């Protein structure tokens, strides 16, 4: 680590407050795998691709390709912020340091409950695919049995996370390996059948027009598809949330986030192209725009493309994807609440650690328990349809806190932007561009989501997706105000991370402008 010799003072790169986590427990590869697993590629494709195709037709690859750019821009922002301040609170810590405790607290809330809502849906997917793997289709359709098995899986993944980062990382190598291999196998088999004429009626050869965003069927359709695509990419920031437990914590977590984002682009474009080519974009049968199968695209296509034996493995891949993402969702959310407790933004109980496993005990149990409760309740509301709306609602929370990180990077590094062209790009223009796109997606989508016919549920004429997304932020603001009234010290700036020091008092841990 170097020390700046600039006039006005010298200060080493910031080190996080010791929270009791196991330092240097995992390396770069494990961090990349955790970031990839947290996005749940197989689950994200099967649960979301159909809705993207319904929104934009066969131009889903174009939407996925364009969604990559704001995701990469925010990954760069995470990387640069982590290089300077590798605190596991990430959005909360950086937002508080840059814009103050109120903004930071809401960023932490948005990040945490985006994960909780997503995991509540994942629990249902895991429960259903558990039964589907064993051929118990009737039980997979039973809300009661899915609730029991889903809650049990949440409890099991919570226990794994409680036992520490190393066992969590080892499990992810297995779980993500299964889903990655099966997604590639499905894609290859589907494309071979399309080009050899062995695909069913409705199949079509891929064309370059699929990558044309100007043929998506209108601006509203495109933004709706874009928000869903953002959800498909979301999760790579788990690599950064475990920064305090990663080797070379200033560099490797950010590098892992960037690598994971690029790898996701390749995997998603391959799988999406193969699925569209094989099933087509029709609204009947295997067509990806069929609303009756939109919530389970891979199961529908897999049985036809792979046959019953290999389709079992594809079902296993989706099951592995769901439980893997459950685990990698608990990890960052628990570390966010741990950081918030460390800086007195939450009760001290959330900061309790397991001395044996060096993991946050109360925070991990709280996140797992909240997920289980929300899952069980949502599973029985409106016949479970509220959980389908949660996919789109999570997109609002993602756009909110990812956008906040983009703006944070620009203001945090405002004194560095004239140092070099690389600093201007990586610490300023690129994060700002990502933040602006996400802000636009947030506002435009929220306006559309307010309509009663948006999604599967509504309440008194207001769309259920809007109520889930915006309502979560409103509840967060109410909880924040209540906590500020009861324990105002953090909101007075007495225990928070503090403000970012000016450039002359900071030191980069690597050459200015280097991508982590």
- Asked if residues 203 and 194 have their Cβ atoms less than 8 Å apart, the reply is yes
Q: For residues 107 and 92, is the Cβ–Cβ distance under 8 A?
A: yes
pLDDT at residue number 340? 96
Q: Is residue 19 part of a domain?
A: no
> What percent of the chain is modeled with pLDDT above 90?
57
Q: Which helix (H) or strand (E) holds 178?
A: helix 165-195
User: Is residue 455 a part of any domain in this protein?
Assistant: no
* pLDDT for residue 5 is more than 50: no
Residue 11: the pLDDT is 36
What pairing do the DSSP bridges indicate for beta strands 359-360 and 353-354?
antiparallel
> Is 462 contained in some domain?
no
Distance (Å, whole) CA 449 – CA 76: 29
For residues 183 and 40, give the distance between their C-alpha atoms in angstroms, rounded to a whole number.
Answer: 12
Collapse the DSSP code of 145 into the 3-class scheme (helix H, G, I; strand E, B; otherwise coil) and give the result: helix
Question: What is the average pLDDT across 97-120?
Answer: 94
Which tokens belong to 201? 């009626």
Question: Which residues on adjacent β-strands are paired with residue 458?
Answer: 463
CA atoms within 13 A on the CB side of 77: 32
Residue 505 within a domain: no
Query: Does some domain include residue 84?
Result: yes
Residues 126 and 134: beta-carbon distance below 8 Å: no
pLDDT tens digits, 267-286? 999 999 999 999 998 888 88
Q: Which residue has the higher pLDDT, 460 or 425?
A: 425
Digit-coded pLDDT (tens) for 470-494: 999 999 999 999 999 999 999 988 7
- Please tell me the distance from the alpha carbon of residue 224 to that of residue 442, in angstroms, as a whole number: 10
Distance from C-alpha of 317 to C-alpha of 324, rounded to nearest angstrom: 10
155-190: pLDDT as tens digits:
999 999 999 999 999 999 999 999 999 999 999 999
Q: What SS3 string covers 89-135?
A: CCHHHHHHHHHCHHHHHHHHHHHHHHHHHHHHHHHHHHHHHHHHHCC
Whether 456 is in a domain gets the answer no
Whether residue 108 is predicted with pLDDT greater than 70 in this model: the reply is yes
Q: Contact 52/228 with Cβ under 8 angstroms?
A: yes
- Entry pTM: 0.89
58 secondary structure, DSSP code: G
Q: Which comes out higher in pLDDT, residue 213 or 41?
A: 41
112-155 pLDDT, tens digit per residue, is: 999 999 899 889 889 989 998 898 989 998 989 999 999 999 99
Residue 220 within a domain: yes
Domain count, the chain: 1
For residue range 370-423, list pLDDT tens digits in order: 999 999 888 777 555 666 777 778 888 999 999 999 999 999 999 999 999 999
> What is d(CA 65, CA 43) in angstroms, rounded to the nearest whole number?
19
CATH number of the domain enclosing 261: 1.20.1740.10
Burial of 144 (0-12, 13-18, 19+ CB in 10 A): exposed
Amino acid 511: pLDDT: 36
Contact 368, 330 (CB under 8 A): yes
Q: Is residue 480 part of a domain?
A: no
Domain that holds residue 226: 28-385
Mean of pLDDT over the chain: 87
């Amino acid at each position: 680590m170097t020390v700046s010799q600039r006039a006005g003072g010298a200060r080493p790169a910031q080190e996080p407050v010791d929270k009791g986590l196991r330092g240097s427990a995992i390396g770069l590869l494990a961090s990349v795998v955790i970031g990839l697993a947290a996005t749940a590629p197989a689950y994200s494709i099967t649960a979301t691709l159909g809705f993207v195709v319904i929104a934009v037709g066969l131009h889903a690859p174009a939407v996925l390709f364009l969604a990559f750019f704001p995701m990469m821009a925010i990954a760069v922002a995470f990387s640069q912020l982590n290089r300077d301040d590798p605190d596991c609170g990430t959005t909360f810590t950086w937002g508080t340091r840059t814009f103050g405790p109120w903004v930071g607290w809401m960023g932490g809330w948005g990040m945490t409950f985006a994960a909780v809502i997503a995991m509540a849906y994942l629990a249902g997917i895991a429960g259903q695919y558990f039964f589907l793997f064993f051929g118990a289709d009737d039980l997979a359709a039973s809300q009661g049995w899915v609730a029991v098995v889903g809650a049990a899986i949440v409890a099991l993944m919570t226990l794994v996370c409680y036992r520490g980062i190393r066992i969590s990382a080892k499990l992810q190598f297995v779980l993500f390996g299964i889903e990655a291999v099966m997604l590639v196998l499905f894609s290859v088999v589907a494309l071979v059948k399309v080009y050899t004429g062995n695909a069913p009626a409705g199949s079509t050869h891929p064309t370059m027009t699929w990558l044309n965003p100007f043929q998506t069927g209108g601006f509203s359709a495109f933004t709706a598809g874009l928000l869903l695509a953002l959800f498909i990419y979301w999760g790579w920031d788990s690599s950064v949330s475990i920064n305090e437990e990663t080797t070379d914590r200033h560099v490797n977590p950010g590098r892992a986030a960037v690598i994971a984002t690029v790898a996701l682009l390749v995997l998603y474009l391959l799988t999406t192209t193969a699925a569209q080519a094989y099933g087509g974009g029709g609204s009947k049968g295997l067509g990806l725009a069929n609303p009756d199968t939109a919530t389970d695209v891979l199961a529908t296509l897999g049985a036809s493309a792979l046959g019953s034996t290999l389709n079992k493995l594809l079902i296993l891949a989706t099951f592995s994807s769901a439980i893997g993402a459950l685990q990698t969702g608990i990890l960052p959310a628990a570390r966010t609440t741990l950081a918030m407790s460390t800086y007195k933004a939450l009760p001290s109980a959330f900061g309790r650690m397991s001395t044996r496993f060096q993991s946050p005990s109360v925070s991990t149990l709280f996140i797992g328990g909240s997920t289980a409760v929300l899952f069980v309740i949502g599973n029985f509301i409106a016949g479970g349809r509220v959980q389908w709306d949660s996919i789109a609602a999570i997109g609002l929370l993602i756009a909110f806190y990812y956008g906040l990180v983009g703006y944070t990077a620009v203001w945090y590094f405002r004194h560095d932007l004239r140092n070099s062209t690389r600093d201007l790009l990586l610490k300023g223009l690129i994060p700002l561009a990502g933040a602006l796109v996400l802000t636009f997606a947030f506002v435009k989508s929220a306006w559309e989501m307010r309509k009663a016919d948006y999604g599967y549920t509504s309440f008194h004429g207001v769309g259920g997706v809007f109520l889930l997304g915006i309502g979560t932020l409103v509840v967060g603001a109410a909880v924040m105000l209540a906590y500020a009234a009861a324990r105002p010290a953090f909101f007075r700036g007495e225990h928070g991370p503090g403000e970012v020091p000016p450039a002359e008092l900071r030191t980069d841990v690597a050459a200015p402008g280097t991508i982590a």
